[in-house]
Amino acid sequence: MALSDSIKIRLREGQALVYAAQAEQRGVGVAAYIRDRLDHADRICEELASLRAAMIDMGETMDEMRDQVTDRPGTPTQETQATSEPSAIEVETLLLLRALSAPQKLQMVTAEIERQGLKPFKIPGPPTRIR
């Protein structure tokens, strides 16, 4: 890969020493190390932008689905959903899906549920002992 432009930057003394040590640990030069860090940061920014876009799309889809369910006659309201116990199949499905999901996606979905004004399902933890 041919490199084109050279850019000179100033770093704090401590920061320059840390980068130099980390570059040495990896067996690369400081410039290559900083270039790799910038590339990695760019990839993370792109992934975050993609997640944000997916959450916006998911939010709009969830809004549409909630509106469709609310418009149907005979469907339970949020108040009755909050007081009724989930069925065994609902809990089983939820637990299986959570087992397959990455923690980041679970947090994203929980945040969306809360944004919708719903209370997310919490798996009860083990009882705490009082000493």
Look at residue 37 and tell me whether its pLDDT is greater than 90.
yes
Residue-number span of the structural domain to which 60 is assigned: 12-73
Of 31-35, 63-67, 84-88, 93-97, which one has max mean pLDDT?
A: 31-35
Give the number of domains in the chain: 2
Residues 66 and 44 in one domain: yes
Whether 23 and 60 map to the same domain: the answer is yes
1 lies in some domain: no
pLDDT > 90 fraction of the chain, expressed in percent and rounded:
23
Q: What is the DSSP string of 42-79?
A: HHHHHHHHHHHHHHHHHHHHHHHHHHHHHHSTTPPPHH
Q: Please check whether residue 4 lies inside any domain of the structure.
A: no
State the chain's mean pLDDT as an integer.
78
- The confidence score (pLDDT) of residue 125 equals 63
Domain assignment of residue 81, yes or no: no
On whether both 56 and 108 belong to a single domain, the answer is no
Q: pLDDT band for 124, please (50, 70, 90 cuts).
A: low
Do 21 and 45 have their domain in common?
yes
> Is residue 109 a part of any domain in this protein?
yes
Are 68 and 24 found together in one domain? yes
Half-sphere exposure of 14 (CA within 13 A, CB side): 0
**Residue 128 placed within a domain:** no
Mean pLDDT value across residues 11-15: 87
* pLDDT for the residue numbered 21: 93
